[in-house]
Amino acid sequence: MARRKRTSLVLEKAVRRAASINSIDPSLDLGNGLTLPAFSTLIETMRTRENAYNSALSSLDKLYREMLETEGELGDMTEHMLMAVGTRYGKSSVEYGMAGGVPKNQRRKRMSEKF
């Protein structure tokens, strides 16, 4: 499942507010650095960072899917390697045990439950 992308309600509100303030005066200066150009610059910075974050999530999702696919392939090959050792040397051989299998003659027999 893909990670949920982020949307900023604060960014949406700021864009609407900037549009409204722009209709008052495009070069409005309220003092203390509160200007429409500064406000617009901060809005664009936030938009850029939000886009970068969402792109990074997409890249991370892709890497995760690729990792899971490779992990599945590795699990299959691990099983095939053990089966090949069992085929070549036998499932009761020392080599089979060395490869990580439980030699056939060392397996515990399960007791069936009787009710």
pLDDT tens sequence across 45-60: 999 999 999 999 999 9
The predicted-structure confidence for 8-21, as pLDDT tens digits, reads as follows 999 999 999 999 99
pTM of the model: 0.67
Question: In Å, what is the CA distance from 47 to each residue of 20, 61, 63, 88, 110?
Answer: 19, 21, 24, 61, 63
Taking the chain (115 residues) in runs of 10, the rounded mean pLDDT of each run is 87 96 91 94 97 96 96 96 94 91 78 64
Residue 114 DSSP one-character state? -
Q: Determine the pLDDT at residue 2.
A: 76
